[in-house]
Amino acid sequence: MAMTSAGSGAVPRINVTPLIDVLLVLLIIFMVITPVKPSRFEAKVPAEPKDQQNLDVKPNPLTLVVSINSATRAISLNNEAAGDVTDASALTGKLAEIFKTRETNGVFREGTNEVEKTIFIKSPTTVKYGDVVKVIDAAKMAGAQPIGLQIDDLTQ
Amino acid sequence: MGASIGGTDEYNSEINVTPMVDVMLVLLIIFMIVTPLLQQGVTVNLPKDMNTPEEDSEITKDTSVVISIPNNTDFYIGKDQFPLTALGEKIQSMMKDKAPDKRIVYIKSGVEVDYGRVVEAIDTIRKQDIDKIGLVADKKKGGESPQK
């Protein structure tokens, strides 16, 4: 009697292991897809040129202008070649060097005691946005802050 | 003998997985619901693997102004398409309640978009007396931090 109950009473239990496997994988997939914290580059835009013809604007000799060549995708820093868009580490190196000498020499932004690390990015309008962002990234790697986007009088 | 072992005295050594499965299912459903909600606006091919963008939770807030430029022809604020001429007015009305230091417009532009189109958007933003722009980009996992 006891023997028969043990033999015929097969417990109808579902094998849940594959189910858990699938669930775990799905869970992980959704966790990965969930976007990471959004991040952004902060850039500044120079004020709109209004009636500034009469203003006596003194050009800042410390200003660094990074420009991109639309045809060759080369980057130049104050008209000096500084690598190209595919490998912007040359720009990072150059900028870092400049900022370092400025730090040791104590070159400050006018009226403050912060080292002048302003850069401007000037790019022709036909350059792809992705390339411009790469340049911004490279400049920030060197510690440039603030980054200005020159948006007037751009070439094609 | 055999019956008594198999029947009453044997401990069941299997883990009871039912509560675990319950928890998993709930988590799964939560993620399935939350994932589409987190994605706001239109899909844009953002610049990826950037080393230095700062995290900014404001980007996903409903109140912040995010201009999406998925291609060379369209501008979107949130999920609505706007022509370039109407962008300024929309930005102005969205920005009017904000403190001056909070006046930042985020730009989500695809990598293949011409910089000229982005400049047109920035030019419109600037006409609203806003000089801070946030260029949204995806941060590389474990990216290097900028030199100090």
- B62–chain A Cβ distance below 8 A for any pair: no
Cβ-Cβ contacts under 8 Å, A131 against chain B: 115
Question: Is residue B108 domain-resident?
Answer: yes
By CB atoms closer than 10 A (0-12, 13-18, 19+), residue A4 is: exposed
The model's confidence at residue B1, banded by pLDDT at 50, 70 and 90, is very low
Grouping H, G, I as helix, E, B as strand and the rest as coil, residue A51 is coil
Question: Is residue B10 domain-resident?
Answer: yes
Q: Tens of pLDDT along B48-97? A: 888 878 888 788 777 888 888 888 888 888 888 888 888 888 888 888 88
Cβ-Cβ contacts under 8 Å, B109 against chain A: 129
What is the predicted pLDDT for the residue at A2?
45
The minimal CB distance from A129 to the residues B20, B115, B132 is found for B115
B23, B64: one domain:
no
B65, B131: one domain:
yes
B117, B84: one domain:
yes
Question: Is residue A2 domain-resident?
Answer: no
Q: Do A143 and B134 touch (CB under 8 A)?
A: no
Whether the complex's predicted ipTM surpasses the cut of 0.85? no
Q: Which one is predicted more confidently, A113 or A52?
A: A113
Split into its structural domains, chain B has a count of 2
Q: What is the CATH number of the domain that holds A134?
A: 3.30.420.270
- B138–chain A Cβ distance below 8 A for any pair: yes
Residues across chain B: 148
Residue with the two structure tokens 């060379």: B72
Question: Is residue A141 domain-resident?
Answer: yes
> In angstroms, rounded to a whole number, what is the distance separating the alpha carbons of residues A115 and A44?
18
* Sign of the dihedral through C-alpha B52, B53, B56, B57: negative
Question: Is residue A6 domain-resident?
Answer: no
Q: Which of A90, A115, A91, A120 is nearest to A102 (CA)?
A: A115
> In angstroms, rounded to a whole number, what is the distance separating the alpha carbons of residues A113 and A111?
7
Residue ranges making up the domain that contains B23: 2-38
Q: Given a cut of 60, is residue A52 above it in pLDDT?
A: no
Split into its structural domains, chain A has a count of 1
Q: Do B24 and A16 touch (CB under 8 A)?
A: no
B16, B76: one domain:
no
pTM of the model: 0.72
B31, B61: one domain:
no
Residue ranges making up the domain that contains A143: 64-149
CA A2 to chain centre: 74
- B106–chain A Cβ distance below 8 A for any pair: yes
Q: Do A38 and B60 touch (CB under 8 A)?
A: yes
Question: Is residue B75 domain-resident?
Answer: yes
